[in-house]
Amino acid sequence: MKNTNPILTDSFGRDHTYLRISLIERCNLRCSYCMPEEGVLLSPKSHLMTYEEIHTIAKIFVTNGVTKIRLTGGEPLIRKDIPIILEKLSSLPVELSITTNAVIIDKFIDALKNNGVKGINVSLDSLDREKFKQITRRDEFEKVYNNIHLLVDEGFKVKVNAVLIKGFNDNEIIDFIRFTKDLPISFRFIEFMPFDGNKWNMEKMVSYNDVMRYVKATFSEEQIVRLQDAPNDTSKNYKIKGYRGSFAIISSVTNPFCDTCNRLRLTADGQLKNCLFSSSESDLLTALRAGKSIEPIIKKAVQAKLKVRGGMDTVEKLQEPKLHTQNRSMITIGG
């Protein structure tokens, strides 16, 4: 939908109708590509947005044209007041969705349904229990696996995200796709992205082309169906003929989708980020607590948004380690 309010339109004419709100910096898993081994310095609780502040800020964005809000983290479901947050946000005229590792989502089925949440993105990086344990540093594979089935049975629209890492889970690409044979889910392969402390390098990344090489080596051209991508979609979508589900590739590194980007991010400590890759942040929470209008700050942040990946417009620039350490770890941004 076209946003007619200039506050959320950037200097390249991109309308920002999608806000991702991180609710918490903590997580019940320890995925190595997401957080540094030594952990992250957590903000004091008083620096994090309360549920009232989340609601107030979200409402301002919605008034200015945001039509979709995704809750993320850290792990959004471990925040104690998540039922109240869902209830508060469900009173706004937005599509509400959530990204979760699904370890404890079985406890929130009613809360999600009662508050109109339909789309749920679940992270799952391996179908092998031992490998799951290795990447997440926690033994929770079964819960996640069972909860994915539960979410499908309960009628949610489920997308499952796997970050592909060369030599770790690229040999599971075809198993992941076969997982969609009887399950009506979208399985999405995410190119491994660089953030502070996640030991990224280009050699570890499995690209869009790599995935398609695996797919073409297993399935015939006739079996591989290219699907229509949704507007502002970050992924290229496919399905295997006859399968109930589909699969997709999110190529943020090799082929970013910045031209149609409609996303803004609010961190759990109330900082607005105009791009996942941008290290600059705008402090909405301090202004809100001081009783100031946050709209001018939002407008300035949106205007400052760069054309491609927070200025990392080439793969060479993306490989500059200094740029990763200037940004936060993914766990404190909210993916």
Q: Are 20 and 70 in contact (CB under 8 A)?
A: yes
Binding mask 86-125 for ligand SAM (x = CB under 6 A): -------------xxx---------------------x--
Return the ∠ at Cα 63 (arms to 257 and 4), rounded to 5°.
Answer: 55
Residue in 206, 88, 109, 87 with CA at minimum distance from that of residue 158: 109
Among 64, 180, 198, 235, interactor with ligand SAM by CB under 6 A: 198
Q: Is 74 helix (H, G, I), strand (E, B) or coil?
A: coil
Distance CA 226, CA 214 (A): 16
Euclidean distance between CA atoms 181 and 287, whole angstroms:
50
The binding track of 223-262 with respect to ligand SAM, each residue x by CB under 6 A or -, is ----------------------------------------
Residue nearest to ligand SAM (CB): 335
Per DSSP bridges, beta strands 157-164 and 271-273 are unpaired
Residues 6+ apart with CB under 8 A from 40: 25, 197, 329, 331, 332
Could you say which of 65, 197, 310, 335 contacts ligand SAM (CB under 6 A)? 335
Residue number, 9 or 251, with CB nearest to ligand SAM: 251
Q: Cβ of residue 6: shortest distance to ligand SAM, in angstroms?
A: 30
CB of 332 to ligand SAM, least distance (A): 9
Query: Which residues in 43-82 contact ligand SAM (CB under 6 A)?
Result: 72-73, 75
Among 132, 195, 238, 243, binds ligand SAM (CB under 6 A): 195
Using the Cα atoms of residue 39, residue 145, residue 257 and residue 24 in order, give the sign of their dihedral. negative
**Nearest-approach distance from CB 298 to ligand SAM, in angstroms:** 23
**Contact, 325 vs 199, CB < 8 A?**
no
Taking CB under 6 A as the binding criterion, the range among 39-47, 186-194, 213-221, 311-319 that sits at the site for ligand SAM is 186-194
What's the token pair of residue 75?
A: 């792990």
Within its chain, how far is the Cα of 9 from the centroid? Answer: 22
206 sits near ligand SAM (criterion: CB under 6 A) = no
CB of 242 to ligand SAM, least distance (A): 27
33 contacts ligand SAM (rule: CB under 6 A): yes
Tell me the residue length of the chain.
335
Q: Which residues bind ligand SAM (CB under 6 A)?
A: 27, 33-34, 72-73, 75, 99-101, 123, 161, 163, 190, 192-193, 195, 198, 330-331, 335
